[in-house]
Amino acid sequence: MISLNLLEIERSVRALSVEEQLWLLESIARQIREDEYTKEQLADAKNPEEQLQVMVDEPNISTETAVVNDEFAISEIL
């Protein structure tokens, strides 16, 4: 059964332009590929250090780390 949240997302997507829909579709596909690649890399890692390195190398983690660092930079100034 399709959830109400999913139906609402579908309605919202239909309201987007074709260009925005294509961008969203490509973004979702890229995210899925990255997540699957990371899962495979983690499964292949032999020890916790290798697993940690795989996570650090994952693009979304790098982006999130940069955002967190920027947010805390203000507190370092004070």
Give percent of the chain with pLDDT exceeding 90. Answer: 35
**Chain position carrying tokens 């790098």:** 62
pTM for the model stands at 0.51
Q: Which two three-digit tokens encode residue 74?
A: 């203000």
pLDDT at 6: 93
In this structure, are residues 34 and 59 in contact, taking their beta carbons and an 8 Å threshold?
yes
52 or 16: which leads in pLDDT: 16
